[in-house]
Amino acid sequence: MRSLFVSKFRYYLVFLSVCFAFGSLGGRLVWLQVFEADRFSNVAEGARKNFSTIKARRGDIVDAKGNLLATTRSVVEVGLDPHSVVDSDQLKWQTLSAYLGIPEEDIVKAVNTKTRTSAVEPKEARDVRWVKLKEKVDEGTYRKIQELRIKGVYGNFKHSRLYPNRNLASHILGFVNKEDVAAMGVERFADYYLKGQDGWRESEKDGRRREMPQHRSLEVKANDGLNVELSIDRRIQDIVEEELSTLVREFNPLSASVIVSDPKSGYILALANAPDFNPNLFNQAELAHQRNRALSDVYEPGSTFKIVAISGAMNEGLVTPSDIIDCSKSTVRRGSRNLRLPNDHNPLGKISVSKVVQKSSNRGAARLGILLGKQRLYKYCQSFGFGQKTNFGIGGERQGTLHAPSRWDGLTITRLPIGHAVSVTPMQIHASMACVANDGVLMKPQFISRVFDQAGKTIVPFEPKPVRKVISTRVSRQLSTMLKSVVTEEGTARRARIEGFSVAGKTGTTQKLIDGKYSNRHHVASFVGYFPAHDPKVVITVVVDEPKMKKGLLGYGGVVAAPSFQRVGKRIISYWGLKPENEDRMVVSGAGFKPRAL
């Protein structure tokens, strides 16, 4: 038998190769099982474990009478896995498109989207396992979709914020954006109470990454958010927004704001701006329409600001309502200087302080401001809240402009008392008039009355907050009597009269600065007042920016804003069922003061 020759070289080469392969495999196993055991054990555990968040339900927002203004509903985000869809389900796509309210072509496109290229690696295509068909589907519709039994079509449950009254009180409510972030309004201010605390669940997944509920090891339940009750009255808010629509139709202004509040508590009963927006469709609204103009827009207040100098001079004991002011002269001597006074619309001659208010005399107010002096006039401006935020709580509030006396020029002492050389927000002028109505006590404007739980128990009360005593009770009541005369046939606001009720208020008409000059065609018309004058129950402010008037007419506050005050006031009286006042209380009287010339 012939012996077989075996090359030693080949033998050792094969032997060493086999030993090297098994040695490498063994070394790799030792490396993975000994040195990297902990790390890979954690990777395997992570692949097996399933952690999911249990979203907390956001609390509701209601008005003062419990009417729902904002709530949270459960919705389903419906989509499909293109790789799981089968051809036999094509006959059901038409029904699916009808349920979802989308074109059938969108479903076909989603089914055909099986891969997607990455922006980082454009040459590498990745499988698509989820294509969204519709973001918000109600639970009833989703149950109908499930009954179709279309393979690969499924949904993910989530919470969605709903504002059932659409545009109503949009600037107060604000909204929650698509990332579940509270963006503005009550939603942002009270987010700490509303959002609640999310829970979480730990379980295991199978090979197809599906949860196995039987292997849940830990579950922490979510704590739903608390509810917020506003001081807003939905019916009054409706009245205000309907009035704004009337103003827009009649005058087509750039914007308009109306504020209604209780002067004694500072609670806001209604606040609205035009234009507004729908919080449900916030992403479709212009950013300018989302601005809360009652807090963010500043303007020269004009004659509504005259209450500062007049009440200040009376509070300091410098004048009484019956004292005589000479409004016939165009200048007044102060020390070694002659100060030029602003003009009145009509010659008024020598009139009482009460008539200065009634006729809205620029010269009379300027002379009272001069009588007060720079420092005291500035002090009363600050005390009434001008040049500072009201701390209303909603973002976007501006503090306006009030320069210190060191920055005043020679005309400021005569122009500031008539509402020039100062800028304010509608909320600031509203709070100042509410101060007069509240016996001289300035209240912090508030829009939340309490935070309560699901059982209705109050968790956090928001009590009325007095800021400071600005003028004495005696002076505030004297000023109320003077402001009542404004809303008469002899005053500038006769269109604000409400039959059977004594109304106190002040008009304001401001020429806007255009290219550094006061324009004769661009005005801000305003009226702020309250009733009943002897026991105020409501304060109403109307501010209209650039009302478009018929040819030859000017947008005076008494023509544009005062009628709006009247219409809103009448509807509130009807809603509250207020009874007309005793006629004796409505008599405008300046008796009890001995006149003197100043």
Per-residue pLDDT of the chain (598 residues; tens, 9 = 90+): 455 555 777 777 787 888 888 888 877 777 777 777 677 666 565 555 656 677 888 999 999 999 999 999 877 888 888 888 888 888 888 999 999 899 988 888 888 887 777 655 555 667 777 888 888 888 788 888 888 888 888 787 777 899 999 999 999 999 999 888 998 999 999 999 999 888 876 666 555 555 444 444 566 788 899 999 999 999 999 999 999 999 999 999 999 999 999 999 999 999 999 999 999 999 999 999 999 999 999 999 999 999 999 999 999 999 999 999 999 988 888 777 888 999 988 888 999 999 999 999 999 999 999 999 999 999 999 999 999 999 998 888 999 999 999 999 989 999 999 999 999 999 999 999 999 999 999 999 999 999 999 999 999 999 999 999 999 999 999 999 999 999 999 998 999 999 999 999 999 998 887 777 777 778 899 999 999 999 999 999 999 999 998 876 677 899 999 999 999 999 999 999 999 986 545 444 443 445 565 5
Confidence at residue 589, expressed as pLDDT on a 0 to 100 scale: 40
150, 209, 318, 496 from 84: Cα distances, Å = 10, 15, 87, 70
Strand bridging mode 68-80 / 61-62: antiparallel
- Both tokens of 203, joined, read 């379980």
Q: Choose among 180, 181, 161, 189: nearest CA to 279.
A: 161
Displacement of CA 434 from its chain's centroid (Å):
21
47, 56, 372, 433 from 414: Cα distances, Å = 78, 58, 11, 22
Confidence at residue 1, expressed as pLDDT on a 0 to 100 scale: 45
Confidence at residue 49, expressed as pLDDT on a 0 to 100 scale: 61
Cβ atoms of residues 211 and 219 within 8 Å: no
Confidence at residue 21, expressed as pLDDT on a 0 to 100 scale: 82
Alpha-carbon distance 230 to 227, whole Å? 10
pTM over 0.85: no
The domain spans of the chain are 234-586
Confidence at residue 204, expressed as pLDDT on a 0 to 100 scale: 60
Confidence at residue 322, expressed as pLDDT on a 0 to 100 scale: 94
Torsion over CA of 266, 270, 275 and 281, rounded to 10 degrees?
110
Confidence at residue 549, expressed as pLDDT on a 0 to 100 scale: 85
Confidence at residue 43, expressed as pLDDT on a 0 to 100 scale: 59
Name the phi and psi angles at 283, rounded to 5.
-75, -10
Q: Give CATH for domain 234-586.
A: 3.40.710.10
Alpha-carbon distance 565 to 243, whole Å? 9
Confidence at residue 34, expressed as pLDDT on a 0 to 100 scale: 74
Name the phi and psi angles at 84, rounded to 5.
-100, -15
Non-local CB neighbours of 590 within 8 Å, separated by 6+ positions: 321, 322, 352, 354, 481, 482
List residues bridging with 203 in a β-sheet: 50
Displacement of CA 385 from its chain's centroid (Å):
20
